[in-house]
Structure 1
Amino acid sequence: MTDKRVLIVLHQETSTPGRVGQELVRRGFSLDIRRPRFGDPLPADMQHHAGAVVFGGPMSANDPDAYISREIDWIGVPLKEQKPFLGICLGAQMMVRHLGGKVAAHPREEVEIGYYPLHPTETGKSLMSWPGKVYQWHNEGFDLPRGADLLATGDTYPNQAIRVGPRAYGIQFHPELTHAMMVRWTTKGAPRMAQPGAQGRQDHFAGRFVFDGAVRKWLDDFLDLWIGRADKA
């Protein structure tokens, strides 16, 4: 019988899994939250987990910290076992690093902080419908590693969503964002809104009012595709 726990990897003391966590619980899963940065171990195998989500954070997948290297190496565990894996922003970049790809800043040092257009590829369209704009908060992007399928592109950072094998996905954007998270991010991260390409705080909240319904619908469809429901596992 498949375990009903989903491994949640977070990178700050105050981080939460947001809407992704809420939706997984609603689907009957429990959350096994771990913070390797603060000493939590990661499992040697996925025997007792239905899937794993590695979330974002202000650090870089290129940082020399030991826990970054350990997480990048560990991603090979769900990939090898073909268990559902989702990397969000930093988590996606870590998966790309694990696969031998590169993570780097934009050549003109542009960032995506706010809502930006998303363009699904034909492969992406064959899987589900995608929102027209998604919420971003990053200053690095990833290239397309060998063997990965490109599912969605963007105007500033071309690789926005990828699939690796049958069960692993990486996305650059943040469908987990709740209103409370937006308040916290735009308050603590206010200086970053002065960077090239970033949107002002008011635009973040205006964009959420317009675009969040489609993002919520996409997340529901994606979770159906990615992990389903615990009682049907």
Structure 2
Amino acid sequence: MNSNFPKTIYAIQHLAFEDLGSLEDLFYQLGFRVRYFEAGIDDLKQAFEYEGLTIILGGPIGVYETDDYPFLIDEIRYLKQRLEKNLPTIGICLGAQLIAHALGAKVYAGHVKEIGWSGLDIRYVNNNILAPLADTAVLHWHGDTFDLPENATLLASSKIYSNQAFQVGQNILALQFHVEVAEDSLEKWLIGHTCELRKANISISHLREDNNKYAEGLTDKAEIIFKEYLKNIGLV
């Protein structure tokens, strides 16, 4: 294990029920502690200056909504500084959009909401960390998308949006989709996002059925991916 990296993982939440999900159990099994920070409530400077792994989680707001959510200004500034130092950072959904924005790429509203379980086109690049997700359905839940940052390696696409995941070196990983969702906790999402789901004419019962069908398999693949990531950065 790399002694330079502490054995606590920091996670920044933008919505109470969008947590680390199945990844939290994995981290505990591997001997890590987990500490959450609430965006908009907590001072995020400590989380972004942390030399260990910081994971930026999802949420329903856009990175460009700084007038309505001014805490994003500091969050983006701290994130830029973190990425310049190449500290280990993972972004999921909104977290991926924040990383893309901090690296100078454009983040903007997509032409359609992508919500539901479906597969990915895993790109043919050397040692693609997302290779285990070939032929595996993941949970998509976003309306915004982003351009690929300079010096980033595209890892995955979907039928709707070409930029679904990218990596910068070994330390920085951005995932537009959700690999962390746990089978037994999706109901929180269905309740919390009911207004968005009904406005987008998304079938809640169909989402629930697909969760029962695909979530367990996704959890198994997520474990492989995150163990590999932790290994690559010297944390396990």
TM above 0.5: yes
Hey, what does 2:146 align to over in structure 1? 142
Hey, what does 1:222 align to over in structure 2? 225
Partners of 2:63 and 2:26 lie apart in 1 by 27
The yes-or-no answer on 1:170 pairing with 2:174 is yes
Partners of 2:64 and 2:165 lie apart in 1 by 20
Deviations 1:165-187 (A, max 9, x none): 22111011111112343111112
Q: TM-score, normalised by structure 2?
A: 0.86
Hey, what does 1:111 align to over in structure 2? 113
Report the identity percentage.
22
Judging changes above 3 Å, is the alpha-carbon distance between structure 1 residues 53 and 187 closer, same or farther for their aligned structure 2 residues? same
Judging changes above 3 Å, is the alpha-carbon distance between structure 1 residues 186 and 42 closer, same or farther for their aligned structure 2 residues? same
Hey, what does 1:4 align to over in structure 2? 7
Partners of 1:22 and 1:8 lie apart in 2 by 14
Hey, what does 2:197 align to over in structure 1? 193
Hey, what does 1:69 align to over in structure 2? 73
- Structure 2's unaligned 5+ residue stretches are none
Partners of 1:144 and 1:229 lie apart in 2 by 23
Hey, what does 2:92 align to over in structure 1? 88
- Please report how far the alpha carbon of residue 78 of structure 1 lies from its aligned counterpart in structure 2 after TM superposition: 3.6
**Does the CA-based 8 Å contact 1:151-1:160 persist in structure 2?**
yes
Partners of 2:188 and 2:61 lie apart in 1 by 17
Partners of 1:186 and 1:173 lie apart in 2 by 16
Secondary structure, in 3 states, of the residue corresponding to 1:37?
A: coil
Secondary structure, in 3 states, of the residue corresponding to 1:144?
A: coil
Partners of 2:126 and 2:113 lie apart in 1 by 24
Judging changes above 3 Å, is the alpha-carbon distance between structure 1 residues 85 and 16 closer, same or farther for their aligned structure 2 residues? same
- Please report how far the alpha carbon of residue 114 of structure 1 lies from its aligned counterpart in structure 2 after TM superposition: 1.3
Judging changes above 3 Å, is the alpha-carbon distance between structure 1 residues 25 and 91 closer, same or farther for their aligned structure 2 residues? same
Secondary structure, in 3 states, of the residue corresponding to 1:111?
A: strand
5 Å matches for 1:18-167? Answer: 18-43=21-46, 45-47=49-51, 50-64=52-66, 65-107=69-111, 110-123=112-125, 126-127=128-129, 128-131=131-134, 132-167=136-171
Secondary structure, in 3 states, of the residue corresponding to 1:217?
A: helix
Judging changes above 3 Å, is the alpha-carbon distance between structure 1 residues 3 and 153 closer, same or farther for their aligned structure 2 residues? same
Partners of 2:235 and 2:15 lie apart in 1 by 32
Q: Which deviates the most, 33-42 or 144-153?
A: 33-42
Q: For 1:117, give the aligned amino acid.
A: G
Count of matched residue pairs: 228
Deviations 1:47-94 (A, max 9, x none): 4xx201000011111111321121122223442333321100000000
Secondary structure, in 3 states, of the residue corresponding to 1:100?
A: coil
Judging changes above 3 Å, is the alpha-carbon distance between structure 1 residues 231 and 75 closer, same or farther for their aligned structure 2 residues? closer
**Alpha-carbon RMSD:** 2.4
Q: TM-score, normalised by structure 1?
A: 0.87
